[in-house]
Amino acid sequence: MNSTTNVLCIGAGYVGGPTMAVIADRCPNVRVTVTDINAERIGAWNSDRLPIFEPGLDEVVRRARGRNLFFSTDVAGGIRAADIIFVSVNTPTKLFGQGAGRAADLQYWEKTARQILEESDHGKIVVEKSTLPVRTAEAMARILKSNSRGLRFQVLSNPEFLAEGSAVKDLEAPDRVLIGSEETEEGQRARRALVDIYARWVPEDRIIQSNIWSAELSKLTANAFLAQRISSINSISALCEKTEADVDEVARAVGTDSRIGPKFLKASVGFGGSCFKKDILNLVYIAESYGLSEVARYWEAVVRMNEWQESRFVHTMVASMFNTMAGKRIALFGFAFKANTGDTRESPALAVATDLLAERAHVVVTDPKALDNAREDLAGVDGNLVFERDPYAAAAGAHAVAVLTEWDIYRTLDYRRIFNSMIKPAFIFDGRNILDHQALHTIGFNVYSIGKMPLTTV
């Protein structure tokens, strides 16, 4: 690779931002520009307050920004200068027309493809980073090849497997990097150019190469398998609550089978995040469109189980609190979809808060990083709702506390102090099974958790 490879990323979100920062950090002779149509977001990437919270990201950005990492709103100029263009714009679930509620909304993607074509004066490598329905790369290649100027483009699929909260770690030491391309000579050459970038810090045996559709389908399948494990253990959690088995003990016993493994077996109030639901629904839609309705129903059940788990949590709260929540103050500990992120997309907390407000509870939301997003998410929801930074203040005068995000700080709070400040009988619902339930029960709480028998005092 020559010393002036210009990499552009279109879309400075949770995926594009950290991925490009790590590439720039690890490849000082590659010039990386990240663009976005959202000027405010770009402003934040150029400031001391990055638009997303990720452990370790500030340091990576600080090292590379201004050296070979640039954030800009000039998409057209960026396209013109680029040799390799990553496309990392969002692909939300389509809300209208055919496939509404399931298919991916590809409007930003197609618009981006057309803009690349319009602004390019030489052929480029276009890398699909957004998770997309299988065969989208083909559609993009057709748009790009539809030019009469003789420009030659190669489209690669390079799905991102980073998880939020550990993005920098995942990018710096990935389990694998997956690169799909056309099997043609030109396709292989383009693939090689991208392998060369990753090979600066990723061992080559972790860089998997495949055809383009395998790469696209692998991403959807990986997310579907991960989500399926959570729905599987959550389905067992319901059974545990009826049978006096303990879901954490079951998960431990099951996970020690080396064929199964211990990860992603933590029962919870439900999985969230921008990817799992969207990607599974996408898989469902693709299966349906090929007439494979059994395949579609199979994967759809993973999403349904998750929705049921969220509503079951609120049902347990209402049933245990004497079947009425009206006027009761309920403190929600955590709103982010997981710990170590401010992201609230598809967070189970949103479903829980909405259901509690519909029960006319007074909901107090606290979270160390996600309060701004929570405020936005709940803006249109009617009801008695307040936001409180301090968990002690949130719990004061409450009838119940519900832990919805597994933030470390919630493990070490002074629960005796919290108990003393609450209305009695005091309830605690641990939607992440992170607290010491026996100790809470000894303090005097009625303790409800996921997949374990409740510890009650009344």
90 touches ligand UDX by CB under 6 A: yes
Binding mask 119-148 for ligand UDX (x = CB under 6 A): ----------xxx-----------------
By beta-carbon proximity to ligand UDX, the closer residue of 325 and 350 is 350
By beta-carbon proximity to ligand UDX, the closer residue of 14 and 71 is 14
Contact yes or no for 367/376 (Cβ under 8 A): no
Is 275 one of the catalytic residues? Answer: yes
Which pair of tokens denotes residue 282? Answer: 């996408």
Q: Which long-range contacts (CB under 8 A, 24 or more apart) does 299-303 make?
A: 299/224, 299/228, 301/231, 302/224, 302/227, 302/228, 302/231, 303/227, 303/231, 303/277
Minimum gap (Å) between residue 102 Cβ and ligand UDX: 15
Alpha helices by DSSP H, 159-292: 167-172, 185-198, 212-243, 247-255, 276-289
Question: Residues binding ligand UDX: what is the number (CB under 6 A)?
Answer: 41
Burial 345-362 (b: 16+ CB within 10 A, else e): bbbbbbbbbbbbbebebb
By beta-carbon proximity to ligand UDX, the closer residue of 217 and 275 is 275
- Residue 152: CB atoms within 10 A of its CB come to 12
Minimum gap (Å) between residue 375 Cβ and ligand UDX: 18
Contact yes or no for 273/345 (Cβ under 8 A): yes
237 touches ligand UDX by CB under 6 A: no
By beta-carbon proximity to ligand UDX, the closer residue of 136 and 181 is 136
Minimum gap (Å) between residue 345 Cβ and ligand UDX: 8
Give the whole-angstrom CA distance, residue 299 versus residue 288.
11
Contact yes or no for 267/450 (Cβ under 8 A): yes
Binding mask 252-291 for ligand UDX (x = CB under 6 A): ------------xxx-x--xxxxxx---------------
Gyration radius of the chain's alpha carbons: 24
Give the whole-angstrom CA distance, residue 23 versus residue 60.
10
410 touches ligand UDX by CB under 6 A: no
By beta-carbon proximity to ligand UDX, the closer residue of 16 and 99 is 16
19 touches ligand UDX by CB under 6 A: no
Minimum gap (Å) between residue 90 Cβ and ligand UDX: 4
Binding residue for ligand UDX (CB under 6 A) from 15, 212, 385, 401?
15
Binding mask 145-184 for ligand UDX (x = CB under 6 A): ---------------xxxxx--------------------
Alpha helices by DSSP H, 257-339: 276-289, 293-320
Minimum gap (Å) between residue 149 Cβ and ligand UDX: 23
Minimum gap (Å) between residue 101 Cβ and ligand UDX: 16
93 touches ligand UDX by CB under 6 A: no
The SS3 of residue 414 is coil
Give the whole-angstrom CA distance, residue 67 versus residue 23.
13
433 touches ligand UDX by CB under 6 A: no
Q: Which of 9, 27, 240, 275 is catalytic?
A: 275
Phi then psi for residue 385, to 5 deg, are -140, 130
- Residue 39: CB atoms within 10 A of its CB come to 10
Binding residue for ligand UDX (CB under 6 A) from 21, 27, 36, 403?
36
Tell me the catalytic residues: 275
Q: Which residues bind ligand UDX (CB under 6 A)?
A: 10-16, 36-38, 41, 88-91, 108, 111-112, 129-131, 160-164, 223, 226, 230, 264-266, 268, 271-276, 337-338
